Amino acid sequence: MKKLLYLFASTAIFISACTTNAVTGRKQLSLISEDALQQQAVSQYRSFLSQNRVVSDASSRDAEMVRRVGSRIANAITKYYSTKGLGRELEGYKWEFNLVDNKDVNAWCMPGGKVVVYTGLLPVAQNEAALAIVLAHEITHAVAHHGQERISQAMLAQGIAVGGNLFTSGNSQANNIFNNIYGPAVTVGALLPNSRNQELEADRYGLIFAAMAGYNPREAIPFWTRMAKKGGAKPPPFLSTHPTDEQRIRKLNTYMNEALSYYKPVNSR
Ligand SMILES: [Zn+2]
C-alpha cells in the first residue's frame, strides 16, 4: 500500500511538474526552480574557479578567444529568444566565460550562463569556428533547461523531497546530483553526453546559434568527427540512450540547411 501511495504521489508530481519548453516545444520534468539552480550554479562556479588555474586574457590569446566566442554565442541566443518573444526565459543570465588550465577535453555551461572551457579542448577544436560549435552546444544544454530536467529526473529516481532550498549544505544527496550533472566534480574529464533527445536538441539549436554568431555551422561535421576519433564524448556505460557518433553526424547534416539560413559570416577570421 505504501508503495502504491508513493507511486501515486510520484505520478502526480510527474504530471503537475511537467513544463513545455518554450523553444523546443518538448515536455520536460521540472521539480526544481530555475532560480534555485542558478543560485547553486553561482556558488559552484565560484568554488570551481577558486580551485583551478584560470587563464587570464592578458596572458593568453586563447582566453581572449574563449570570451569572444562565448559572448558572440550569448548575443545570438539573446537575439533568437527576444525575436521569438521569449526574452524572459533568459532572465537571471549573467554570462561569464573562463578558460582553465586543464588537459581534459571538456567544456560546460551551468544555468545562468556560467561557462568554462578546459585548455585540453582547444587542440581538438583546432579553430575558432569549431570552438563556437562546441560552446553553442554546451550553452544550449543550459538555456534549454536540460540540467533542470536531469536533476528533476534524478530527484524523482532517488525519492528526494521537493520544495524549500534543496541545495542546503546538509543535503548532500541534492548537492551530489548537481555536481554529477555539471562537470566540476565529474571525473570522466570529457564532454559528457546527455540523453538522446537533449543531445539532438543541443546539436540542432547549437548549430543555429553558432551560425547566428557568425561561425560556419559546417565546421560541426569535422569537429565531431575529430571528437569521435579522440574517443571523447563517450557516455558512461549507464547511459544507453545517447546518439552514436554516426547518428550524430547524420543528424547534424539534416540540421545543416536550417542553420545555414541563419549564417552571416563575420570577416575577422
Ligand atoms: Zn551535449
Question: pLDDT tens digit string along 104-136?
Answer: 888 999 999 999 999 999 999 999 999 999 999
Contact predicate 124/219, CB 8 Å: no
Q: What does DSSP say about strands 27-29 and 96-100: parallel, antiparallel, or unpaired?
A: unpaired
- Residue 99 carries which side chain, given as an amino acid letter? L
Mean pLDDT confidence for 176-190: 63
Distance of alpha carbon 13 from alpha carbon 9, whole angstroms = 6
Query: Could you tell me the distance, in angstroms and rounded to a whole number, from the CA of residue 122 to the centre of ligand 1?
Result: 17
- CA–centroid distance, residue 131 to ligand 1 (Å): 14
Structure confidence at residue 70 (pLDDT):
98
Distance CA 117, CA 139 (A): 11
For residue 187, the model assigns a pLDDT of 45
Distance of alpha carbon 257 from alpha carbon 255, whole angstroms: 6
CA distance 129 to 139: 15
Q: Are 218 and 144 in contact (CB under 8 A)?
A: no
Query: Average pLDDT of 74-93?
Result: 95
User: Is 199 annotated in the active site?
Assistant: no
Collapse the DSSP code of 8 into the 3-class scheme (helix H, G, I; strand E, B; otherwise coil) and give the result: helix
CA of 134 to the centre of ligand 1 (A): 9
Instruction: Give the pLDDT band of residue 192 (cuts 50, 70, 90).
Output: low
pTM of the complete model? 0.86
The Cα–Cα gap between 90 and 105 comes to: 28
Question: Active site residue: 138, 199, 201, 219, which one?
Answer: 138
Task: Supply the pLDDT for residue 2.
Answer: 58
Beta bridge partners of 55: 99
Q: How far is the CA of 5 from the centre of ligand 1 (A)?
A: 36
What is the pLDDT of the chain when averaged over all its residues?
84
Cell of 26: 518538448
Residue 202 Cα to ligand 1 midpoint, Å, equals 6
